[in-house]
Copies of this chain bind each other. A is one copy, B any other.
C-alpha cells in the first residue's frame, strides 16, 4: 500500500473535488482519493506506488494543475 499527497491548484468547490477525485480514481491501483479543499491537498492511496505523471495527467484531465 502506498500513500502520497499532492497539491492541486484551482479547485474552488465540491464539484471541483468530485472532478479531480473521479479522474484520479481511474488510475490503475488507486484505492482512495482524499481532497482537502482549503489547502488543495490531494492524498492518493494505491496498492502500489503510482507514477506522478499519471496523477498529473488525471488532474489536468479534470481541468486543474498539479502544483509541484
Q: Smallest CB-CB separation from A15: which chain B residue? A: B15
Which interface class (under 10, 10 to 19, 20 to 34, 35 or more) fits A?
Answer: under 10
Of A14, A19, A63, chain B has the most CB atoms within 10 Å of the CB of A14
Copies of this chain per assembly: 2
- By secondary structure, the A interface counts as helix
Contact string against B for A residues 3-46, beta-carbon threshold 8 Å, 1 for contact and 0 otherwise: 00000000011111001000000000000000000000000000
Residues in B neighbouring A63, C-beta threshold 8 A = 14
Q: Smallest CB-CB separation from A63: which chain B residue? A: B14
Given contacts A13-B16, A15-B16, A15-B19, 6 further A-B contacts (CB under 8 A): A12-B12, A12-B13, A13-B13, A13-B15, A14-B63, A15-B15
